[in-house]
Structure 1
Amino acid sequence: MTDGGYAAGDNPMPTDTTRTDGMPTDATAGETVPAAAAVPDRRRRRRWPLWSALVAVVLLLAGGVPAVLLADRLRGGNVGTPATAASPSENPTTIAARQVAERITAQLDRQAAALLGGDRSGFLAVAEAAAVRTDLRRRFASLRALRVTQWEARANGLPTSAGKAGEWRLAVEFRYCFVVPDCNPSPLIVDTRWRDGAEPRLLSLGKSKTAPSYGDRANGQPGSLPWEVSELVSKVGRRTVVATVPAYRHRLPGLLKRAEAAAKVADGYAVSGAAPDRYRIFYAGQQEWKRWYGGDHPEWSAGYAINVGGGHYEIALAPDSFDYGTGLDSVLRHELAHAASLPQKRDYSDDSTWWLVEGVAELAAVDGQSVARYEGLDSARRLVKGDWDGKLDSLIPDEDTSDDQVTGSYGIAYLAAQYLIDRFGEERLFAFVKAVVHDRRVPAQTSEEIFDESWASLHKKCVAYIRAAVR
């Protein structure tokens, strides 16, 4: 689904789904971590154009306000863009804010270089408060465990007074990559507070803000990310990186092996043609499940995939997902298929296409098994013979929907996708997914173009197939 995933019910089956080195040893227990790929020094050297210096001299000679040079990045421009001169008539308060932002940016640049270089002391040096240093120490260890390969920080707007002399509030945008050096970085914006000086000091550091509700997570920031709030250990494979808290370190080898197998299946569901550079998978303990990504998950959720920006989805697995036995393999195939098949943009979510998003993920979950062996068939039968109105666009379950109805909804979605792929093949099904889910075109606009049949007729035949399959 939008946050695609598996639901945890009384019967832990693959259909119980939700919506969709630097560092020589593991940060917490001495486990060897593979060396991170070499990354370039991210520190920025500002080279001001000659004309900018001349403008400043002219202004000084004319008795005007001295030009204040500030990297264009402080106004949302590209990192490393040459600074431009402030207007002579610019408000003095704005000029002061720009100067503060420039000093803070220099600190953030030094901190980024320290993180990428494995220098923990340098990473912590920016902080003044002891609590912030503790927070940064944990973040440093977790980011290094995840093999951070890109880390950039820039002001998101100008700082504002924090109410005390010499203290400022500033929204900071961080952009990061894991494992892959040249990935499209994931962004997040957090609130910070600083004490100004020649080298400003960090007083408080916020966390990624949560979108308003469970159903809206694709339309905003995902909430607190695992590395923001938890100490993590990890293992890296050819297609996946798996991480958890130290208490579950012993589960990482098995999880990595199963994740790598699931990735081979999920790669075949890259609707846009490009599979993720790495699938990011986080196994949660009880407390982490309540905190990661906002913690706002339906009770029936056993896992989900969530958009973190930059074309990346992260998969969270519920604490009891290892109790599912081989069902965990289905969960992984389902969630990784979401990461491969869903669009990069955050605003794709549409309840009316839930059946298609989840149906495609269920095709990956079953991995070619026959319809007769689908474990959610009984639940689908009860729903078809019960409350279902016969419309695919009304299938999405609520947060308080019963486990059996949730499983039934996923089952119907699976049968609909199975009908389409059996009749039209993978290529045309994926073209339909791209048109409807990625490009936000309604089925009625695309059905004849892709399937040579009206959606009204095709929907009727699809529902007939579903009813026959559960008879």
Structure 2
Amino acid sequence: MTDGDEQPPGRTTDGDEPPPIVDAVAPAPAPDAASLAHFAAGPAPYPVPPAQPDPAQTRAVRKRRWPLWTALGLALGLVAGAVPGVLLREPAPDAAGRPAAADDPGTAAQRRLGERMLALLDRQATALVGADRAGFLAVAEPAARPALSRRYAALRALRVTTWRPAADGVPAEADGRPGEWRFTVTVGYCFVVPDCAPSTVELGTRWRLAGEEPRLTALEPSETDPAGVRPWQADDLAVTVGKRVVVATTQAQRRKLPGLLAQAETAARAADRYAIGGGPPDRYLVFYAAKGEWQRWYGGGRPKWTAGYAVGVGGGRHDVVLNAQIVTPAGIDDLLRHELTHAASLPDRGYADRADWWLVEGLAEYAGADGQPVHRYDGLAEVRDLLGGGWPGRLEAVAPADDASDDRVGGAYGVGYLAVRHLVDRYGEQRMLDFYRAVVHQGRTPEQAADEVFGDPWSMLHDDCMAYLRAVVG
């Protein structure tokens, strides 16, 4: 976090857009392992009620409680210097449409070996997109083929249309294993839609030399990929594809796919309204995670009150993950609208400033409420409690801590919702979205954005939002 005397990361004071670095922030120090595990995902979660509440907690249990880890994770991760689920690297593509490699270090022999490995990975990519399973496995040692067969099946189920491996380094000898090599590659990939702006994933490949010919022995998740392990890297998947959404889960949960797809398609139509910066995603990708997968996919480690999150994977996309242990039939429609709105509205690489949390989550809550009257919003009691003490009454300071109580988290989301709702009621949806774009995408301060978009001073609007909050909750 920055103190009150510092210029927040990603902000500009002269009207220029910030440089296209991670979430428009200056280069951050490398995150430690705990930070990567904690912030690998992106927007924020909702509090989870106790499994067996006493009567006094019945109202809270019946309420929709599912803050989105995505927004909170992105805000906190970037402010703290972590890099949650960002595009790892996407330099200008070469003539083949593949990201151009930086100057290779290492010896000429290493460079030549890397070129041979990449040629084999290119051959494997062609086989994958062309539904040639035998060709996909042909570059690998027999012992590696069962795992690669599972990977092939998962990617084909997701309807992979693009798979482009590239590297900006050279192979390195595996420690203590003569004749074995490690080679980190970055793959640009698309699902369903051909010729999309590719998402990216960093992979660790392992090889053995058979004479002069490298043979693939393993294709592993990279330990340095900030987004963590993708579901298709970790598990066999069952997949269903709709017009706007792809929904995937484990084989054990596959019976739920038809219902999930229908609900997600409806939510996508709502979320499309809030797309900012180039139109809505070509497809929303939703993963439904049981307990084990929830702990494993995209790094795990979410707060206990998380029911869903969205994580940036590059190419303008944010994958959405739902927690099967928490999601209820009564709450899933709101949750999907909320999460898919994050996927539609967030910048490619998330956002930089924790002070914007109220706006990012407020927009998603507004979409999740789906036009219902304000008095029916579930979190009004928590907003009232929050206004009663422990919060200084500033929107930029409302983001909850990871270990916050359920009531504190629910109140924070309610504050964001009511503030955004007030701006919509006063200026209309489009001008509110223009304000969001100026603050979250372009790095303007609320003061700058309010003057530019609303023609009113932010100090006045902030006070009006707070007065509205107090009037609504009584």
Matched residue of 1:348: which SS? Answer: coil
Counterpart Cα distance in 1 of 2:366 and 2:164: 38
Summarize deviations over 1:421-442 as a string: whole Å, max 9, x none.
Answer: 1001111111111110001111
Partner of 1:127: 140
Partner of 2:266: 261
Counterpart Cα distance in 2 of 1:129 and 1:376: 56
CA contact (8 A) 1:286 1:319 kept: yes
2:96 to 75, 80, 93: 80
Mapped pair 1:341 → 2:345: yes
CA contact (8 A) 2:243 2:265 kept: yes
The letter for the 2-side match of 1:413 is: G
2:437 to 420, 434, 437: 434
Counterpart Cα distance in 1 of 2:92 and 2:324: 39
Partner of 2:110: 97
Partner of 1:115: 128
Mapped pair 1:276 → 2:281: yes
Counterpart Cα distance in 2 of 1:419 and 1:19: 24
Matched residue of 1:389: which SS? Answer: coil
Q: 1:396 to 1:232 in 2, by over 3 A?
A: same
4+ long deviations beyond 4 Å? none
Counterpart Cα distance in 2 of 1:347 and 1:301: 18
CA contact (8 A) 1:5 1:331 kept: no
Mapped pair 1:359 → 2:362: yes
Unaligned runs of 5+ in 2: 1-38, 50-60, 71-90
Matched residue of 2:228: which SS? Answer: coil
Counterpart Cα distance in 2 of 1:208 and 1:422: 47
Counterpart Cα distance in 2 of 1:261 and 1:395: 31
1:141 to 148, 153, 173: 153
Partner of 1:156: 168
Mapped pair 1:372 → 2:395: no
Q: Give 1:128 deviation, angstroms.
A: 2.1
CA contact (8 A) 2:68 2:339 kept: no
Partner of 1:193: 206
CA contact (8 A) 1:18 1:300 kept: no
Q: Give 1:165 deviation, angstroms.
A: 3.5
CA contact (8 A) 2:114 2:171 kept: yes
Unaligned runs of 5+ in 1: 21-74, 212-220
Counterpart Cα distance in 1 of 2:95 and 2:67: 41
Q: Give 1:192 deviation, angstroms.
A: 2.0
Summarize deviations over 1:188-214 as a string: whole Å, max 9, x none.
Answer: 112222123443112333214467xxx
Counterpart Cα distance in 2 of 1:264 and 1:400: 34
Counterpart Cα distance in 2 of 1:437 and 1:389: 23
Matched residue of 1:200: which SS? Answer: strand
Summarize deviations over 1:161-199 as a string: whole Å, max 9, x none.
Answer: 224443322111111101111211101112222123443
CA contact (8 A) 1:208 1:225 kept: no
- The structure whose Rg is larger is 1
Summarize deviations over 1:438-461 as a string: whole Å, max 9, x none.
Answer: 011111222111111111111111
Counterpart Cα distance in 2 of 1:276 and 1:347: 15
Mapped pair 1:18 → 2:68: yes
The letter for the 1-side match of 2:384 is: R
CA contact (8 A) 1:243 1:252 kept: yes
Q: Identity, % of aligned pairs?
A: 49
Counterpart Cα distance in 2 of 1:129 and 1:175: 26
CA contact (8 A) 1:6 1:331 kept: no
The letter for the 1-side match of 2:334 is: S
Q: Give 1:142 deviation, angstroms.
A: 0.7
Q: Structure 2 length as normaliser, TM-score? A: 0.80
The letter for the 1-side match of 2:445 is: V
1:173 to 161, 186, 195: 186
Mapped pair 1:232 → 2:237: yes
- What does residue range 397-436 of structure 1 map to in structure 2 within 5 Å? 397-436=400-439
Q: 1:77 to 1:448 in 2, by over 3 A?
A: closer
Shifted more, 368-377 versus 147-156: the winner is 147-156
Counterpart Cα distance in 1 of 2:155 and 2:167: 21
Counterpart Cα distance in 2 of 1:376 and 1:257: 27
CA contact (8 A) 2:247 2:286 kept: yes
Q: Give 1:353 deviation, angstroms.
A: 0.3
Partner of 1:301: 306
Counterpart Cα distance in 2 of 1:76 and 1:180: 21
Partner of 1:218: none
Counterpart Cα distance in 2 of 1:141 and 1:360: 37
Summarize deviations over 1:329-365 as a string: whole Å, max 9, x none.
Answer: 0000000000111111x25232110000000001110
Q: Give 1:155 deviation, angstroms.
A: 2.2
The letter for the 2-side match of 1:378 is: A
Q: 1:80 to 1:452 in 2, by over 3 A?
A: closer
Q: Structure 1 length as normaliser, TM-score? A: 0.80
The letter for the 2-side match of 1:376 is: G
Summarize deviations over 1:20-63 as a string: whole Å, max 9, x none.
Answer: 3xxxxxxxxxxxxxxxxxxxxxxxxxxxxxxxxxxxxxxxxxxx
The letter for the 2-side match of 1:399 is: D
Counterpart Cα distance in 1 of 2:221 and 2:380: 42
Counterpart Cα distance in 2 of 1:225 and 1:170: 19
What RMSD, in angstroms, separates the aligned Cα atoms of the two structures?
2.3
Counterpart Cα distance in 2 of 1:129 and 1:386: 64
